[in-house]
Amino acid sequence: MKRISEYAVEVESAIRELGIGSRRPESLYAPIEYALEAGGKRIRPVLLLMTVDAFGGDVEAAMAPALGMEIFHNFTLLHDDVMDDSETRRNRPTVFKKYGENAAILSGDTMLGLAEKQMMQVPDAVLRRVMETFNRMSVEVYEGQALDMEFETRDDVTPDEYVNMIRLKTGSLLGACAEIGGILSGCNDKVCAKLREYGENLGIAFQIEDDWLDTFGDSATFGKPIGGDINQAKKTFLYVSGMSASAEEAKALKMGMELPAGDMRVKTVTRIYEKMHLDESCRKAASSYSAKALKAAKATGLPEERLESFKYLLDRLSGRKK
Amino acid sequence: MKRISEYAVEVESAIRELGIGSRRPESLYAPIEYALEAGGKRIRPVLLLMTVDAFGGDVEAAMAPALGMEIFHNFTLLHDDVMDDSETRRNRPTVFKKYGENAAILSGDTMLGLAEKQMMQVPDAVLRRVMETFNRMSVEVYEGQALDMEFETRDDVTPDEYVNMIRLKTGSLLGACAEIGGILSGCNDKVCAKLREYGENLGIAFQIEDDWLDTFGDSATFGKPIGGDINQAKKTFLYVSGMSASAEEAKALKMGMELPAGDMRVKTVTRIYEKMHLDESCRKAASSYSAKALKAAKATGLPEERLESFKYLLDRLSGRKK
């Protein structure tokens, strides 16, 4: 089996080989090339490829659907950046800021079309299962994003609702990557369901860890300034957990969050989180989803030595403080 | 064979039966229900169903993919309305104006997912052909919309470029409806290509006729105020034809179009079009694409009595002045 970094390198070169930048009309395809060349961890195609590899499937043939998942992921970023009015991503202007809103919408739509074209490059025998898995996943991602936006105007979001939202918005795509890897390798429905469970819980653990890092992490490791979530009053795992504690504690947290955005708000809210021991319970929650993911991976029946990459991905994505 | 209006009624009730309005999250599905209940002519699913009927296919089983094409069409309207900043559609506020831009983007994405779910409800034997036809069509529609937006900032668009743009933006979807109708009825590739040609040319004829009606039509029949295209300085078939005439005539037209938006501009430009006999050449162009469509329909080998609905649709869509 290959190492994670080797798959990522292969994904990069397969993306370049698509030659998207030379397609016309340029106004449509230049933003797509810009988005896809930005790099990133390529976790989603890597997860699909390593799953195929672990089950002895045809890794080379799986590159097309693996790229499809990566292109889909980047499509969601284009649209999310418009909806969230985001200016930068991966240290560059977003497509939305660089090419304008219309380009971000329409090039995003086109990326979805390109993604599905890649997804269809699978044998006839599994085409329907692959496309149905992809389709269900896509709608779940949109439902997750809709809930995320609904939460912005609500102050009574429970931790369970929050976890359900990130399961849809982040977990579903990772779940589908592992599941489709299984489908392509001839795994039965039960094993595919376990693979999906691995990916979903990996995604949940990853997002909760991300919430923790945004407040308690180190900006060098995290790659973003610390305190962004607090400054944007985002409904994170920390915040919704705090708001579902005692009325008194919730009130203090709400007041802290209503301070003007800036250092004072970040410091105050961080101190409240610490006083409520939310930093620990947040890490604990991430660990418990990480453990669920590992349990699901083991339940696929893969021999121990073939679980290494599944473990590595968990450590890398949900243990980023180390 | 059923009449066109009967198919349209069945499409309406099949849309209601999807029960989209009761799905959650409400912020995601309410705009979709609003968009789909707006009615419209339902031409696209009707074209698919009548094609299946004409070739003796299973009309009932074709309802799911027919709905898929209608939902796809409405998805493009949601995103187009954001890109074009359109306030009203079918005499109601657009989704963009009623629910906001984020809802129009995300509910649009979700509609595409719902559309594809419908498209997949076809027998295994034709799944790949149907999905590949749908996929290619979707990317063509986006390319057409991109060209349409590119044309806004260009003054040297040729009539050929214009026709290519509307072939992609409007013709491709109608072409795919007829083609998929053929695929579902067991038609061979040659017949399917002719059906596609019928739909594409129907779409081109329809759009050129629409350009004519916007300037020379009757607002009661047209359903919109006359002169909208001139007031928005849109690159229509009339305008690009005029701009590719003699330098002197093009200059006069350009000056007319640079008058302040309002009655004076509409009157002046209309008079220039008339002086250049563009009203006649525009009608002639629409007729020639209509004739191409009919020729393609006949080339499918359908007996004369089964061509009636294909003729009726051409008359209805590209002969709306009568």
- Residue A201 pLDDT level (bands cut at 50, 70, 90): very high
pTM: predicted TM-score of the whole model, two decimal places = 0.96
Find the residue in B nearest to A138 (Cα). Answer: B113
Q: What is the mean pLDDT of residues A295-315?
A: 96
Pairing of strands A88-89, A92-93: antiparallel
Question: Distance (Å) from the C-alpha of residue A285 to the closest C-alpha of chain B?
Answer: 25
User: Is residue B320 pLDDT above 70, yes or no?
Assistant: no
Mean pLDDT along residues B186-206:
98
DSSP H helical segments within chain A, as ranges? 4-17, 26-36, 43-54, 63-83, 95-99, 101-119, 124-152, 159-166, 172-184, 189-216, 219-222, 228-231, 237-243, 247-257, 263-275, 278-299, 308-318
Entry field: residues in chain A: 322
A143's CB contacts (< 8 A; 6+ apart) are: A168, B25, B28, B110
Helix (H) or strand (E) segment spanning residue B26: helix B26-36
Classify B224 as helix, strand or coil. Answer: coil
Cβ contacts of B124 on chain A, cutoff 8 Å: 124, 128
DSSP secondary structure code for residue B184 in this structure: H
pLDDT of residue A320: 55
Alpha helix (H) residue ranges in A120-158 = 124-152
- pLDDT per position as a tens digit, B147-165: 999 999 998 999 999 999 9
- Beta carbons of A106 and B135 less than 8 Å apart: no
Candidates B71, B73, B139, partner chain A, best to mutate (most A CBs within 10 A): B139
Report pLDDT for B39.
82
pLDDT band at residue A1 under the 50/70/90 scheme: confident
Nearest to B146 among A27, A114, A138 (CB): A27
Segment B48-87, tens digit of pLDDT: 999 999 999 999 999 999 999 999 999 999 999 999 999 9
Per-residue pLDDT reduced to its tens digit, A212-255: 999 999 888 787 889 999 999 999 999 999 999 999 999 999 99
Tens-digit pLDDT profile for residues A19-34: 999 999 999 999 999 9
| ipTM reported for the complex, 2 dp | 0.96
Strands (E), B75-115: 88-89, 92-93
Q: What is the residue-averaged pLDDT of chain B?
A: 95
At residue B321, the pLDDT reads 47
Pair of tokens at residue B229: 């295209």
Place of tokens 């933003």: A31
pLDDT at B4: 86
State the greatest distance between any 2 C-alpha atoms of chain A, in Å, as a whole number: 60
Q: Is the pLDDT of residue A194 over 50?
A: yes
- Average pLDDT rounded to a whole number, residues A242-270: 96
pLDDT over 50 at B322, yes or no: no
Most B CBs within 10 Å, among A80, A116, A120, A162, to test the B interface: A116
Q: Which of A39-43, A80-84, B18-22 has the lowest mean pLDDT?
A: A39-43
User: Which band of pLDDT confidence, cut at 50, 70 and 90, is reported for residue B203?
Assistant: very high
Distance CA A24, CA A97 (A): 21
Quote the pLDDT of residue B241: 98
Contact flag A106-B138 (C-beta cutoff 8 Å): no
| CA–CA dist B220, B226 (Å, integer) | 9
Q: Where are the alpha helices (DSSP H) in B167-277?
A: 172-184, 189-216, 219-222, 228-231, 237-243, 247-257, 263-275
Q: Are B117 and A135 in contact (CB under 8 A)?
A: yes
Mean pLDDT over B218-233 rounds to 88
Which of A26, A109, A111 to substitute to test the interface with B, most B CBs within 10 Å? A109
Contacts of B138 in chain A (CB under 8 A): 109, 113
